[in-house]
Amino acid sequence: MFTAKSKRYKAMRNLGLMPSIFNISEPIMFGLPVVLNPTLMVPFIVTPMVLEFITLLLNEVGVIGMIVAQVPWTTLRSLVAF
């Protein structure tokens, strides 16, 4: 979306930037046809599953530690990693 040539995608990027910082993704989900578009829906569904598998694998190997606290969904995206 950051390198899109379409004016519509660029407009949606600008409109959805501020809400996405606060974990509100509806402008992007419904502004871009992610919800009903199989081409965009498949990576949207498969990516979290792949990341979960990689996390579990790294946890079993000992590269990363156990999760000790769950971060609330309303936390700013920049603070979630900490």
| Span 10-29, pLDDT tens digits | 888 888 888 888 878 888 88
pLDDT for 80 beyond 90: no
CA dist 32 and 8 (Å) reads: 8
Domain ranges of the chain: 1-82
Record the tokens describing residue 56, joined without a space.
Answer: 């579990």
| pTM of the complete model | 0.56
71: Cα separation from own chain's centroid = 15
User: Coil, helix or strand for 30?
Assistant: helix
For the chain, the farthest-separated pair of C-alpha atoms sits apart, in whole angstroms, at: 46
- The upper half-sphere exposure of residue 20, i.e. CA atoms within 13 Å in the direction of its Cβ, equals 11
